[in-house]
Structure 1
Amino acid sequence: MEIVTGAINTLLLKFAKLLVGDCKLQKGVKKEIESLQKELISLGAALRKVSEVPVDQIDEQVKIWTRDVRELSYDIEDSIDTFMVSAGKDGHPVAELFSFKGMIDRTNNLFKKVVAHHQIAREIKDIKKLLEDASKRRERYKVDDAVIVAPRSESVDPRVGAMYRKETELIGLDGPKNLIVKTLMEGDGTTGRQRNIISVVGFGGLGKTTIANALLHELKVNFDCHFFISVSLKPDIRNILKSMLHQLDNKSYANIFEGLEDFQLINKIREFLQNQRFLCVIDDIWEESAWDVIKLALPDGDHGSKIITTTRKMAVAKRVGGAVFELKPLSYDDSYKLLSKRVFDTEDGFPLELSEVTRRILKKCGGLPLAIITIASLLASKPMQIQEWEKVNNSIGLGLGNNLDVDNMRKILSLSYYDLPPHLKTCLLYLSKYPEDTIIRKDILIWSWIAEGFITNEGEQHGKSLQEIGEAYFNELLNKSLIQAVDIGNICDRDGQVHACQVHDMVLELTNMLSAEEGFVTLMPSDDKEEGILVPAVPKKVRRLSYSYRFRNSTNGYATAHARGSLSQVRSFTAIGDVRSLPPLTIFRVLRVLILGNCLRLEDKHLKDFGKLYNLRFLRLGNIRKLPKCIGNLQFLQTLDIRDASSVIQLPPSFVRLRQLVRMIAHRVRLPYDLTLENMKSLQELQCVGLTENLMQGLCDLTGLRILNLLLSSDDDCDIFREAFINSLQKHNGLQQLTLKTPGRFSLDFMQGAPCCLQRFVSNGLFYRGFPQRVNSSLSCLTILSIKLDNYMKQEYLVTLAELPSLRFLRINAFYAMEMKDVKVEDKKRRLIIYSGACAFRCLQEFHFYCKRMGLLFEPRAMQELRRLCLQFSVQRTIDALGEIDIGLENLPSLQHVFVDLGRSETPGEEIQEAEAAIRKATNDHHNNPSLDFGSVDAMLSSRMRLRIQ
């Protein structure tokens, strides 16, 4: 299902399943379905054509038609899903289903017994009639003629202003500009004759064009010639080539363009530049194909020419080659200065009474220069009164109103949206249901997309799993700078990938506006001063409903027929905050996604009708104490996420009836001793389940498991199940992630019997049987390893670990068990030397080493790719071994972040101060200038757990 074509794509797949499935359809129904497929394909093609025309150029009747067809597709899908529920393969009778006969506003007849096959025949006939009516209106409104009209070009490109910014608007951009100059020019001299390329990457509005233009004007005196071209979203390559020639020599190439082919223009540019030292800016490249043509005109000479490109897409920057400079948002101080300069023509600041509201405004601007400048233009026209500035602050995220500057900002930001293919537009607008500043887990987002039907594995994606396709969608949005990566600090997520994101407030403002126009997500008002739920304010049909922060004190708003009619076709319901009164779940007749995340006061009464959500695919519950007994009724459930439960959850017996469950994610759950999971063949992810004998038996049959997270509650469990568990693992060749939480010394000899696809192994159990001398070849895929040792870390252990070819994250917690008085003299100087050669970790990006009684030293070429270093080591032993605190940070060329726990309680204060000073000097002297934090490891890990994550 897409914002462009509604549910048409998923409908086609479901009709195909009806044709080839084992449902015994009545005579003639299959032919009717085949006819419907053809009609849907035609309507889908028309909707895609409409989507290619700018919104302001579409006829109003065409807009109404496209909206009606999308809504019709949703209604049809609801009807088909209802039939599939009632005709379930297990033959279990489903009571209290809703009829969708007639498809349009006929969803209020409750019945207990479904004569499914007779009903679907009637439904198909009704569907056919409705689609025929839609096709007739398509002809009557001349939809196809309306969408082939050439779109009008903008009279003025809103991005042109970036080339003529005032000097005051470059506040905060001087630092990036100087770094780019250094990168471009540092090769000059004996080795600087080769062309240098640098790409400036970042989201729209960060100042890429402004910086690039400033660089051109600053550096052009050092070059023989220069030019600036803007490629734009839909480039006219011929005009771009003409512009290049015209800027290079206005007189010679004033009148020779007519009649020349593109390749002739390219040849003339190359001839002109062949013996020149040129500087050029190629601004706003959207597609790799555009660069592939333009670069043909730029000769590979040895005259020290420089090329600066700007783009919103990291993939384009990598295709261009050379250095990549990722432009970041302005700091708060620079944002403050820029806003002050634009409003008051001074950087001195704001009146005291406006300081707090100014802080909140800047927070929402998120360091985006374009947003700051736009908001400044609004504030400059307002009286210097806190009430007026509060209105501006409150309008951010809800629509900033009509203003020329605001309109230009939206046009610039919306370019990224309109560049997206239909499926990514859908995925992006789905983010509008989250409040600002929310950290969104990637897995929740992807599996919500899957549950809603946004992702299919047909066409070009055929052969990939739905999760793999969802990962690709997420990465595309990240690559296009429409979402921002967030580090949530989970050890199991240290694989070099992004596992959570946020949406910039200005992007959220845009998506909220677009979503409201399309009726895609409905955000319920959240003003506590208002009584009841303002249901009359919502559209006639709500498909996706989101509440945040606080529900009303009354449920009276749900009692009306209008309320139930508006909400009866909600497909996704998301609630975040203080739950005072949830709507009765019986309202949501076709719900697919239910997220009650981080909801306070969530009680059993809120879930009393839980078992009637027969279409539910994705369920996330926070702060619950137990699961309803009727959960087994949710026959289509794919994801059960209760990781934020407030206590240990005992799974009800009906849980094992969830035959289509793919993911079960929890903080701590237990399965009844008399139940087994052997029939839950769809399970791929099973997290934080207590180990029992029945579970062990069932695990052997769950050959589709990819992620397994087990809890062992006692040492007895460890002894009883160790061998059986290791034997069970050998049957799971597809297992990719294994996490063990144990109370004692349960240790898996993971290097001998590990599954061949294992990518992550995390265990808090102590290794006490000794350490393997060689790494098993089956561990070639291992990227994350977190282990504990019951003694010190021996040098030979490190040599063994260095044999892991794909390792990106390594965490070692080593306990030195002997008392200090028992340590031999030579052991007091013990330190771990991480050296090059056999012990050079090729891929390691993050290293955590915790041992209060050992020293540490990185030798040259030890860890070339290491970016994040977290240490807890002995200051005294390092001094004893080396004579000073020098752990060799300069030998880690890729280092970006350092965290150090010096064990203050065990080391004299004077030595701690000296050690901190030495480490601080080492990071300051490092060419990357990595960030540095001192503190407690335990405090650091616990603080990460307090992030507000959805």
Structure 2
Amino acid sequence: MVKELVWQIGEVAYEALDVIDTFIHDIVILGTKHVLREMTNVRHARMLHNVAKKMEELNKEINKIYDNMEEYGIESGEASADAQYERSREDMVGFDFHSTTLHNRKREEVEEDDIVGFFDNSTTLVKLLLEGNPQLDVVSIIGMGGSGKTTLAGKIYNNVVIQNHFNCRAWVCISQNFRTRDLLLEILKFEMPKSNELTRKKLFKYSSEDELKNKLFRCLQGSRYLVVMDNIWRSEVWDEIRSAFPDDSNGSRILITSRKKEVALHASLTPPYLLPFLSKDESWELFGRKVFRGGTCPPELETMGRQIAEGCHGLPLSIVVLAGILANKEKSFHIWSKFVGHVTSFLTHEDDSTICQKILSLSYTNLPQHLKPCFLYFGIYSEDFEIPIRQLMHLWVAEGFIQHNCHRFSEDVAEIYLEELIDRSLIQVASRRTDGGVKTCRIHQFLRDLCILESAEEKFLEVRTHVNLLSTNKSRRLSIQGSLDPDAYISSNPSHPSCSLLFHGQDTYDFDPNHWKWVLENFKLLRMLNFGCVDLYSIPTRIEELIHLRYLGIESDALKALPASIGNLINLETLDLRGTFLNCLPKGIWKLRRLRNLYMSGPVSLPNHLDPNVTTLNNLRVFSTVSLNLKTVCPITSGALPNLTKLGIWFAADENNNEVVDVLKCLHDLSNLQTLKIINCLERHSLPISFPEAITKITLRHVRVKVRRDMKVLGKLLNLKILKLQSCLLSSKFYVFGGSFPQLQVLQLENLRIKNWKQRRGAMPCLRHLVIKRCIELTMLPSKLQSLTVLQNVEVLWSTPESALMLQKLQTKVGFKLLVHPLPHNLVT
């Protein structure tokens, strides 16, 4: 009953918000039309009367809810209805529901030592991959859902011996809705340089399935490769994909994981490896590590803790989820004793998915209130999708999920929320940035199912495939993970409750005028509109009617222009145009006073900045990537973007005017700038002699670098932590001066024609991560590297055997992790 009352209160709150938003929408739209003032005043009065009437009705609904609360003995003054519901759950399962304090730290990468119970399994499987028949072979891991198949495969995939043995590796996840084309594209992504991302996307879009198979075959031919295909559900997967893998009798391997033994037997004559459950001691070890995070269990709780761990019956997923909950609770006999009884009741069923579903549902229930919508929001993404963290942060902010903090930017608080979900084992890290932060993440399919089920019950989110435009929707958010019915008629539903419309699926299809009419007529209160993979050829002028829009994401390479009316989206905070091929933004862009993030694939030109009434975009923090030419220099040099924290600039081709080059001198005035990317700046002496003091990351790509001059300037930046030099023009000798780069943690040298690296004493004392990629002429490394005591990771990618050998010798002295990828045969110059 309490949960029902909570739901009713939420519904009334949403209705009140919709009434207000609808009134604002109608007022703005009415004000933009040529209507006689007297008629307008009459209509305004009528609209206000209707609002007052609806609010009065909602007030009666609230009074009824409070009457019901009193009838059932729920005291409104004691706590909110939501807190009452949480307290009733606490009485049932014995949990302490207190919120988690925000913390500001980078989540460190999980070390292999945190993986429990897989040593013998890993050793056996590594041997199978390295030894045996030289012909192409398939090695398989099978086991119950949640038994750790993916974790074990990941441990093997990242094993140093495996990395050094296979000069080509790829990892792909297989969803239940498997499509051969998608799988081929995922594997090919590992084989094509990321710098060709836009070209790759355009190429793949128009390639047939057979062409992709042939392309993959040619890419892999001659290489000793390892391809991990995780979570295969059907035998037909291997039948569809096997012809794309060449067999050069060089020991190449395919590693698959599956719940079904018949899938493994179908793919290979090699007997599948059945992953056993964890033993009691292993279960307790894993449980203890996750709960106490490096600490030790108090003696008085060990017996109780072992009972909890044993109650999971050796299923790692259950152990990790339960430990993630208890890690944030009071470590007391009272709490743990109730928990034991509760877990045992959940683990008495035979169906593993039912067990996990109930456990995961329990973990959701015990989330702090501020994390619940953030977790449910993962349901918008399709199965096995690798989720970009930055996009997710902006979506959360635009949805209003992030609590206001006057001392932090909203995206920074959102990142802390994500870290909390990771700490609770609800979200998995898929990849990391060079500085150790999370770059992409995934959600387990059981957890995704939980998000969708809970969201449907709470009318938080509805996920649909193959949507008919006539169908109605009652959820606040609609995620279309399929295709729209192009033959359906449009139904008008002005009271549509959805405030977010997201297209996210594998199918690409044209978004035609009928679809636009459906959006504009039925989703007037939209705050979020993300088109994902939809082919969008144009945007109607009427988009200005979506005045509540806070986030607009477009990836279509078919879109060539934006309407000027986009400047009337007065609440727009994030405009993400990555993946489009726009040449110039409309003048209306300068009217978006609340715009905080503007992403483009680049280079995109700015419109002329001529309107004297529009002087600044005070809220703009992210501006990347903009093309600089004579027409677009002014907004940056004139101080029209005072609060930028991230800026990407691309110098227009054949642009030699000094005014364009001199824009770099004005960067010093951007006092809040933290991240800077400069592309295609080949003018001599073009880099400035000073940068903003707050800058922490600089990326130079296709930039002329005067080593002795520019490295000295960069080395004096006291807060610089990340420096990336990519395909830059510089002399054959690379200098790092003594005492320079005092805070630098990450240095990436990519595709540079340097032969010698000279480094003086005291330089880069904080360097933790060094990447040397495709520097094929670099044969001499500085001996001073061995004095870098904090160096943790060194990656040598597509580089010379000489430099790799030197680093291997240096590794024995310094003790860092070394990852070596030889230069592929087809890239040797």
**TM more than 0.5:** yes
Bigger radius of gyration:
1
1:138 aligns with 2:35: no
Task: After TM superposition, give the deviation of residue 292 of structure 1 in Å.
Answer: 6.7
Correspondence 1:433-448 to 2 at 5 A: 433-448=380-395
Correspondence 1:407-446 to 2 at 5 A: 407-446=354-393
Compared with structure 1, are the counterparts of its residues 675 and 431 closer, same or farther at alpha carbon in structure 2 (3 Å cutoff)?
A: farther
Task: After TM superposition, give the deviation of residue 839 of structure 1 in Å.
Answer: 4.1
- Secondary structure of 2:438 counterpart: coil
CA distance in 2, matches of 1:229, 1:667: 43
Correspondence 1:31-42 to 2 at 5 A: none
Equivalent of residue 481 in structure 2, options 544, 548, 569: 548
Q: Deviations over 1:264-319 (max 9, x none)?
A: xxxxxxxxxxxxxxxxx99937456767779xxxxxxxxxxxxxxxx9xxxxxxxx
Ranges in structure 2 where 5+ consecutive residues have no aligned partner: 75-83, 96-114, 124-144, 152-275, 308-319, 334-339
Equivalent of residue 695 in structure 1, options 632, 644, 659: 632
1:477 aligns with 2:421: yes
Report the counterpart of residue 655 of structure 2 in structure 1: 716
Report the counterpart of residue 817 of structure 2 in structure 1: 895
Compared with structure 1, are the counterparts of its residues 140 and 773 closer, same or farther at alpha carbon in structure 2 (3 Å cutoff)?
A: closer
CA distance in 2, matches of 1:815, 1:229: 47
- Secondary structure of 2:717 counterpart: helix
CA distance in 2, matches of 1:717, 1:620: 34
* Farther off after superposition, 210-219 or 544-553: 210-219
Larger RCO (alpha carbons 8 Å, 6+ apart): 2
Report the counterpart of residue 778 of structure 2 in structure 1: 854
Is the contact between residue 726 and residue 753 of structure 1 (CA under 8 Å) also seen in structure 2?
no
Task: After TM superposition, give the deviation of residue 429 of structure 1 in Å.
Answer: 0.5
Is the contact between residue 812 and residue 849 of structure 1 (CA under 8 Å) also seen in structure 2?
yes
* Farther off after superposition, 650-659 or 776-785: 776-785
Report the counterpart of residue 743 of structure 2 in structure 1: 805
- Secondary structure of 2:371 counterpart: helix
Task: After TM superposition, give the deviation of residue 657 of structure 1 in Å.
Answer: 1.5
Is the contact between residue 715 and residue 741 of structure 2 (CA under 8 Å) also seen in structure 1?
no
Amino acid in structure 1 at the alignment position of 2:667 = L
- Secondary structure of 2:456 counterpart: helix
Amino acid in structure 2 at the alignment position of 1:214 = D
Is the contact between residue 652 and residue 680 of structure 2 (CA under 8 Å) also seen in structure 1?
yes
Q: Deviations over 1:476-497 (max 9, x none)?
A: 1122221222238xxxx53321
1:630 aligns with 2:573: no
Amino acid in structure 2 at the alignment position of 1:629 = A
Would you say how many aligned residue pairs link Structure 1 and Structure 2?
608
CA distance in 1, matches of 2:808, 2:57: 80
Task: After TM superposition, give the deviation of residue 432 of structure 1 in Å.
Answer: 0.5
Task: After TM superposition, give the deviation of residue 793 of structure 1 in Å.
Answer: 5.0
Report the counterpart of residue 586 of structure 1 in structure 2: 521
1:867 aligns with 2:793: yes
Amino acid in structure 2 at the alignment position of 1:213 = K
- Secondary structure of 1:686 counterpart: strand
Report the counterpart of residue 175 of structure 1 in structure 2: 118
1:499 aligns with 2:449: no
Report the counterpart of residue 729 of structure 2 in structure 1: 790
Task: After TM superposition, give the deviation of residue 789 of structure 1 in Å.
Answer: 4.8
Report the counterpart of residue 351 of structure 1 in structure 2: none
Amino acid in structure 1 at the alignment position of 2:410 = L
> Alpha carbon RMSD of aligned pairs, Å?
4.7
CA distance in 1, matches of 2:332, 2:3: 37
Report the counterpart of residue 663 of structure 1 in structure 2: 597
Correspondence 1:309-388 to 2 at 5 A: none
Q: Deviations over 1:427-480 (max 9, x none)?
A: 1101101111222222221221222221231xxx44332222212112211222
CA distance in 1, matches of 2:645, 2:657: 22
Amino acid in structure 2 at the alignment position of 1:444 = Q
CA distance in 2, matches of 1:783, 1:130: 54
Q: Deviations over 1:12-68 (max 9, x none)?
A: xxxxxxxxxxxxxxxxxxxxxxxxxxxxxxxxxxxxxxxxxxxxxxx2xx5444333
CA distance in 1, matches of 2:665, 2:148: 55
- Secondary structure of 1:486 counterpart: strand
Compared with structure 1, are the counterparts of its residues 885 and 781 closer, same or farther at alpha carbon in structure 2 (3 Å cutoff)?
A: closer
Report the counterpart of residue 123 of structure 1 in structure 2: 51
Is the contact between residue 739 and residue 762 of structure 2 (CA under 8 Å) also seen in structure 1?
no
Q: Deviations over 1:119-163 (max 9, x none)?
A: 557635642442243223332354762658855977999xxxxxx
Q: Deviations over 1:99-134 (max 9, x none)?
A: xxxxxxxxxxxx987865885576356424422432
- Secondary structure of 1:423 counterpart: coil
Compared with structure 1, are the counterparts of its residues 472 and 688 closer, same or farther at alpha carbon in structure 2 (3 Å cutoff)?
A: same
Equivalent of residue 213 in structure 1, options 277, 280, 304: 280
Compared with structure 1, are the counterparts of its residues 84 and 463 closer, same or farther at alpha carbon in structure 2 (3 Å cutoff)?
A: farther
Correspondence 1:500-649 to 2 at 5 A: 500-526=440-466, 532-533=468-469, 535=471, 538=473, 541-556=474-489, 558-559=490-491, 564=493, 568-576=496-504, 577-581=507-511, 582=515, 583-600=518-535, 602-604=536-538, 607=540, 609-623=542-556, 624-645=559-580, 647-649=581-583
Task: After TM superposition, give the deviation of residue 239 of structure 1 in Å.
Answer: 12
Correspondence 1:143-154 to 2 at 5 A: 145=73, 147=84
Task: After TM superposition, give the deviation of residue 608 of structure 1 in Å.
Answer: 5.2
Task: After TM superposition, give the deviation of residue 731 of structure 1 in Å.
Answer: 1.1
CA distance in 2, matches of 1:430, 1:485: 17
1:749 aligns with 2:673: no
Report the counterpart of residue 253 of structure 2 in structure 1: none
Task: After TM superposition, give the deviation of residue 635 of structure 1 in Å.
Answer: 0.9
Amino acid in structure 2 at the alignment position of 1:682 = N
Task: After TM superposition, give the deviation of residue 840 of structure 1 in Å.
Answer: 5.5
- Secondary structure of 2:355 counterpart: helix
CA distance in 2, matches of 1:720, 1:786: 26
CA distance in 2, matches of 1:554, 1:246: 60
CA distance in 1, matches of 2:794, 2:289: 39
Is the contact between residue 476 and residue 497 of structure 2 (CA under 8 Å) also seen in structure 1?
yes
CA distance in 1, matches of 2:120, 2:591: 61
CA distance in 2, matches of 1:711, 1:229: 48
Report the counterpart of residue 664 of structure 2 in structure 1: 726
CA distance in 2, matches of 1:593, 1:287: 35
- Secondary structure of 2:502 counterpart: strand
Compared with structure 1, are the counterparts of its residues 439 and 873 closer, same or farther at alpha carbon in structure 2 (3 Å cutoff)?
A: closer
Q: Deviations over 1:61-95 (max 9, x none)?
A: x544433321221121123334556778xx99345
1:682 aligns with 2:619: yes
Identity rate, percent: 22
1:77 aligns with 2:21: no
Compared with structure 1, are the counterparts of its residues 851 and 519 closer, same or farther at alpha carbon in structure 2 (3 Å cutoff)?
A: same
- Secondary structure of 1:550 counterpart: coil
Compared with structure 1, are the counterparts of its residues 86 and 123 closer, same or farther at alpha carbon in structure 2 (3 Å cutoff)?
A: same
Compared with structure 1, are the counterparts of its residues 874 and 542 closer, same or farther at alpha carbon in structure 2 (3 Å cutoff)?
A: closer
Is the contact between residue 715 and residue 744 of structure 1 (CA under 8 Å) also seen in structure 2?
no
CA distance in 1, matches of 2:642, 2:412: 19
CA distance in 1, matches of 2:778, 2:303: 65
TM-score of the superposed pair, with normalisation by structure 1: 0.56
1:653 aligns with 2:692: no
Ranges in structure 1 where 5+ consecutive residues have no aligned partner: 1-58, 98-110, 158-171, 181-202, 220-226, 248-280, 295-310, 312-369, 378-401, 817-829, 908-950
Report the counterpart of residue 284 of structure 1 in structure 2: 323
